[in-house]
Structure 1
């Protein structure tokens, strides 16, 4: 029976997470869905993000996915808990939906010596306070400083992130957070688009500050989850297939997605 693992993002950024998951766990079948027609999610209300995300989760379940990864920080921040607590028991009590915030929060303490970290994210993720709350559960001694970077996703999605014009917006937000707290020794890229800005970010920060992206963390967390939950692991089919879907134009998606995924891919349109 075809029972792929679903990977969801509001657009393309989740492909940076999927790429790491495929390297770590290539044997499983995967379906990726980008809700590009309604992206970006970062500036939308909690209620809107919740309804969009739930609609997409239901679509994954309809495709036979027993497990869905929200490879989107905004969806994880604004929708995951409600879906897990309120919706799953009603619509699919045996299925599971996981996010990217908790796995990151569980291990982030091992990357900082000063116990002062910076979170770079969309406005929606920052306003949700999800990272601050989750990190405090595991590392109450860590001081969390957040900076919303609303221009970073549009820069990446318009393929302007490597151009000189991007420097102003990248340097501006890095200066904002580092001026606020000079002892920060770790910056977390809390948006799956931001790894594509890694080289630019490193140009504007001191060498002693580590920059952490989430793909590998989420991949290792998923491997650990499947090992700890054999009943779910056995439900996931293993033919090594990958399928890609978008709610927008597949041709546009294919072109842009290769920037994030690192290789060409073919997608199909989904109407939600």
Structure 2
């Protein structure tokens, strides 16, 4: 058991969005060692079909299992919406998604809830379903924001065009007089300064990263998996260019991380899985 306790927590995302979860782990669980993986060779995830996302998630989790993680946080709403339930039974470690923690936090704050997300997450209706299962009286409006992730990954956050797109995406929600706004993509927390300049201060902003880490802490305690030795330095790995990720992430980490390039295992059963998932859409 002690060996498992001192294994790392795995986090994955398509890119730098998951750094919002990583920062919450640093804040809430500083004693834990962490393995961060960014699938930068295949971002963005938000416009891809569900079967493809499921394949990617299986490949990432298979690699993480090889790295002996004790838990994985899907720091990606698209993966959480489209693949979480399918893979939870396939691996022998806890896998947490960001949608349910975010939904629980949203209903505690308001009744008129807006969700900004990738097109795939919006299409899945995962947030609406999760929120209305908790509170059937809550009203939910979801807006797909396909340009946000590319703009963030290209480090264009402060360009006028980014503010214009934010205004375009948020206007329909503001017209509904929302009282709560959920960042339905972990990347979007990086746009908070821009978003705060558009939405009224009375609107509650919900960052699911905070709440999924709270859930992770409860899970670690429940399973007696809390680390017993000092944390090791965070290990960063990407499927794309390590230098690009390191340079981009420095502004949120405060340092240039050492990043390794990883080739993921290919899932030979992926074609069958795609057909099965597409039938469900």
Normalising by structure 2, we get a TM-score of 0.88
Q: 1:256 aligns with which of 248, 251, 256?
A: 248
Partner of 1:152: 148
Normalising by structure 1, we get a TM-score of 0.91
Q: Deviations along 1:138-194, whole A, 9 cap, x unmatched? A: 111111110011111111111111122212101001112222x12x10111111111
Q: Give the deviation of 1:99 after TM superposition.
A: 0.7
Q: Give the deviation of 1:219 after TM superposition.
A: 1.8
Q: Deviations along 1:66-107, whole A, 9 cap, x unmatched? A: 21110100110111111114xx2xxx3x31211111111223
After TM superposition, the structure 1 = structure 2 runs for residues 1-272 of structure 1, keeping only pairs within 5 Å, are 1=3, 3-85=7-89, 88=90, 92=91, 94-112=92-110, 115-179=111-175, 181-182=176-177, 184-230=178-224, 233=225, 238-241=229-232, 242-272=234-264
Q: 1:57 to 1:237 in 2, by over 3 A?
A: farther
Gaps of 5+ in 1: none
The SS at the match of 1:165 is helix
Q: Give the deviation of 1:237 after TM superposition.
A: 6.4
The SS at the match of 1:204 is coil
- The answer as to whether partners of 2:102 and 2:211 remain within 8 angstroms in 1 is yes
- The answer as to whether partners of 1:3 and 1:237 remain within 8 angstroms in 2 is no
- The answer as to whether partners of 2:9 and 2:33 remain within 8 angstroms in 1 is yes
Distance 1:131 1:75 in 2: 13
Q: Which runs of 4+ in 1 moved over 6 A?
A: none
Gaps of 5+ in 2: 265-281
Alignment size in residue pairs: 259
After the TM superposition, which of the residue ranges 249-258 and 215-224 deviates more from structure 2? 215-224
Distance 1:97 1:167 in 2: 35
Q: 1:178 to 1:82 in 2, by over 3 A?
A: same
Q: Deviations along 1:207-257, whole A, 9 cap, x unmatched? A: 211222222212222112222222xx15x5643111000011111111112
- The answer as to whether partners of 2:20 and 2:186 remain within 8 angstroms in 1 is yes
Distance 1:266 1:240 in 2: 17
After the TM superposition, which of the residue ranges 237-246 and 141-150 deviates more from structure 2? 237-246
- The answer as to whether partners of 2:106 and 2:113 remain within 8 angstroms in 1 is no
- The answer as to whether partners of 2:106 and 2:180 remain within 8 angstroms in 1 is no
- The answer as to whether partners of 2:102 and 2:207 remain within 8 angstroms in 1 is no
